[in-house]
Chain A
Amino acid sequence: MSMSPTIMSLDALAALVPDGAKIAVPTDYSGIAMAATLALIRRGVRNLHLVSVPATGLQADLLIGAGCVAVMETAGVTLGEYGGAPRFNEALRKGQIKVLDATCPAIHAALQASEKGVPFATLRGILGSDLLLNRPDWAVIDNPFQQGDKIVALPAIRPDFALFHAPMADEAGNVWIGHRREQMTMAHASKAAIVTVEELRPGNFLDDPLLAPGTIPSIYVGGVAEARRGAAPIAMWGRYPIDDAFMRGYAEAARTEAGFSRMLDLLMEPQKAAAE
């Protein structure tokens, strides 16, 4: 088997994403495509509609701070134990981005609706919350099987791209995600997954009964780039921990725009060096 044409460089991957694209990104423990995110920032992408699945942190804060984001659809944006997300919070205060506040299972369910090709999902809960009041794109419908039972209907979320980092891809463009199944749903729900991996491997994972269960078939994958330590400074499960020093520094410095720029430059350094 020859190398799939979907296997490309990090910059080629970033070039797939046009301004205004709707992009789904996973939560921090699930594989953050940080190297690809920095490539997007470097190429100056604008007006992204970012959907966090279901929450996000540094990745969204960097994109927002760099002016790449128009809409943030999320159940939570936080640096976790390092504190609030300073650029997200500031952008909201100043009204620079639109926020679509959601709840975790609503984002999952709306992606699953897209995965199934149905126009909407239903979900328990939410009724009586101010989330519902502020989401005119959501609806309340009747359960046709039980008189008087109201339930929230959520329109399917169909991102242009699912963007995430995974342990490995094979030369056919299949991506092994292991038990991080939310990446499978994100890939299915999106028009195309664009993925960075710690390593490219020969062969075809689908032929291996131990690898196949944790593999996203290439039909869902629009691009794959190798990016070693591609999630850093965020942790990659089973590989490397979060960069504690960077995160502490960022949480403090990014409270100001100047401090944010300094931290972003710090992250860009190695990439710039590699590109030269």
Chain B
Amino acid sequence: MKSAVIVFPGSNRERDMLYALEQITGTKPQTVWHAETSLPDVDLIALPGGFSYGDYLRSGAIAARSPIIAALKAAADKGTRILGVCNGFQVLTETGILPGALMRNAGLKFVCKTVRLEIANANTDFTRAYKQGEIIDCPVSHHDGNFFIQEDGLTRLEGEGQVAVRYAEGTNPNGSLNDIAGITNAAGNVLGMMPHPENLIEDLNGGTAGRRLFESVVEAIA
């Protein structure tokens, strides 16, 4: 599987993402600098975690106005798989590719810990290697992960099965509506999520459940 990782000034989990993709797909991903205007022809485009532009103004807001975003939108429309993790998710909502917004955590503090994640929809290109309703341990590490969307939007997300992952009962770390941890777009080719599957791929990480997210995409494009 060919993949690419978009790097913004202030991205800081791009090396984690590059490493995970290479480990799991066996192919070195390409790195795309935010100032470029076209994307390589790949199967998966990843937006990594971090603090693009220091998270100043709003997380992901300034990155979402980068030159590369027009190409990203075109890729999303074309059906290319796009994965945004943490700051990547924030960028995707700021571009409008995904609905909703990620507000300051309800506790107002940055939170880094392992939560329990429920696979809310195992029928997406990103979750097909999991079982429906399966619960995995997964780390989160963010300041702005409190997912919000107006009521009609929420109804649509829930109704269409766009909620891919949820914080399992009692482990919502940030106050997200309906415990939402990750959502897809209506077409299902774009996933944004706050937890970090790329930091859960080898024994050293204390678990490998994150691998299956990437393996799902490999399977989906095969």
Asked if A pairs with B, the answer is: no
Which residues of A line the B interface, CB within 8 A?
A: none
